[in-house]
Amino acid sequence: MSFNLQGILRRDLNVIVPYKAPRVGEGVVKLDANENPFEFPEDIIKETWERLKYSLTRYPDPMATELIAALSEYTGVPEEGIMAGNGSDELILNILLVFGNGGHVIIPTPTFSMYRIHSLIAGAKPVEVPRGAKFEADISAVAGACKRYQARAVIICSPNNPTANTTPVEDVRRLLEESGALIVVDEAYIDFGGESCLKLLNSYPNLVILRTFSKAFGLAGLRVGYLLGAPEVVKELYRIKQPFNLNIFSQLAARTALSNNGEFKLMADKILVMRDKLVEEMSRIKDVTVFPSEANFILFRTQLKGKEVFEGLLKKGVLIRNVHAPGIEDCLRVTVGRESENKFFLDSLQAVLNRNA
């Protein structure tokens, strides 16, 4: 009997385009992924290797016990309310698999595209609610959508990728009280701006906060994220956790980074100073509209098509992100880099806009 690939396929996944990012060579200034632009501190890498006492031939601790204890100390959340993941991406998918499947998930957009994709993978229906003129999450519209669809979950990104604005804690509180849904607040960029919803966690069992080591903590390559929530919510998520989702080295590096968190705080402060300078310099370029930023990246638009600017910059050796989408037509997102990288980006942008490509 012949094999019928189409016959066994989940056809609802056809709308998902496989994730690809341009593979850049040496010398390209990489300002596309909101990473920490500095070298990872040498002393912290060294300390991580020195602490590596487990054999690599053995599986990692499936409960990431020591990392969870360190996170509990760092956040003040009890260990039963914490789960670590292979990047927060894994945790977003797990939340949607457990709570979203078969129901609706409300997503104020434009926002991080993986919320929609993970909803589809999890068999949940994403409902996109447009953000307002200043990209603020429209809380009344979100609450209305929750009611209309009897939504299972809402995902709010604050600071929001790619618009770089934040959602006030009181707006989140309103949703926690009015929506009847699980409210997931993605605080991937919280070290750069906005007020954390952490203080609401004790009062609302329907709040889940997502964090990552990929941004301010500079560990994007090691894939470590975590979530904070009510123990009864976290307990349900553990049912589907891959047993060995977090490798030995990543668990250890994240712990070591946490015990040196002051160093990363200093880096984040430096990034914010460079961000403000970059916003100011971009705003001075004719025909560039720069949106206010409370994050380590900046959303902007020019008089040219976004695609043209993106390609022009890439030709000059600068990789940024073309985030063209409804509500942010022809917009681009640039990550704050090191001083020299920001300068190179500014000069290249100016040249592209002058059409000296």
Ligand X SMILES: Cc1ncc(COP(=O)(O)O)c(C=O)c1O
Using CB under 6 A, list all residues that contact ligand X: 34, 87-89, 112, 157, 161, 186, 188, 212, 214, 220, 225
Residue 33 has a CB neighbour count (10 Å cut-off) of: 15
At its nearest, how many Å lie between ligand X and the CB of residue 246? 12
Q: How far is the CB of 85 from ligand X (least distance, A)?
A: 8
Residue nearer to ligand X on the CB measure, 190 or 288: 190
Indicate the residue among 135 and 312 with the shorter CB distance to ligand X: 135
For the bound state, the minimum distance from the C-beta of residue 297 to ligand X, rounded and expressed in Å, comes to 9
Class of residue 143 by CB neighbours under 10 A (exposed 0-12, middle 13-18, buried 19+): buried
Distance CA 175, CA 200 (A): 12
* Count of Cβ atoms closer than 10 Å to residue 354 Cβ: 10
Least distance in angstroms from the C-beta of 88 to ligand X? 4
Prior bond to 205 cis, omega within 30?
Answer: no
Q: Please, are residues 61 and 203 in contact by the beta-carbon 8 Å criterion?
A: no
Cβ contact 41:222 at 8 Å: no
Residue 88 or 256: the one with the smaller Cβ distance to ligand X is 88
| Nearer residue to ligand X within complex by CB, 161 or 179 | 161
**Minimum distance, C-beta of residue 198 to ligand X, in the bound complex (Å):** 17
In the complex with ligand X, the residue whose CB is nearer, 120 or 352, is: 120
**Shortest spacing between CB 236 and ligand X, in angstroms:** 21
Q: Which is nearer to ligand X, 102 or 221 (CB)?
A: 221
Report the C-alpha gap between 227 and 206 in whole angstroms. Answer: 13
Query: Which is nearer to ligand X, 94 or 161 (by Cβ)?
Result: 161
CB atoms within 10 A of CB 144: 15
Q: Nearest approach, Cβ of 147 to ligand X (angstroms)?
A: 26
In whole angstroms, what is the distance from residue 186 CA to residue 32 CA? 19
Select 288 or 291, whichever has its Cβ closest to ligand X: 291
By C-alpha distance, which of 172, 181, 109, 161 is closest to 139? 172
Q: Are 124 and 101 in contact (CB under 8 A)?
A: yes
Q: How near is the Cβ of 220 to ligand X at its closest, in Å?
A: 6
Lookup result for tokens 């934040």: 166
Measure the CA dihedral 46/51/55/59, to 10°. Answer: -100
Cis peptide, bond prior to residue 37, ω within 30 of zero? no
Q: How far is the CB of 36 from ligand X (least distance, A)?
A: 12
From CA 232, how far away is CA 63, in angstroms rounded?
Answer: 17
Give the amino acid at 128. Answer: E
Question: By beta-carbon distance, which residue lies closest to ligand X?
Answer: 87
Tokens 């020019």 sit on residue? 302
Give the CA distances from residue 6 to residues 11, 13, 65, 231, 259, in Å, rounded to whole numbers and listed in that order.
Answer: 8, 12, 43, 42, 51
Which CB atom, from 118 or from 316, has the smaller least distance to ligand X? 118
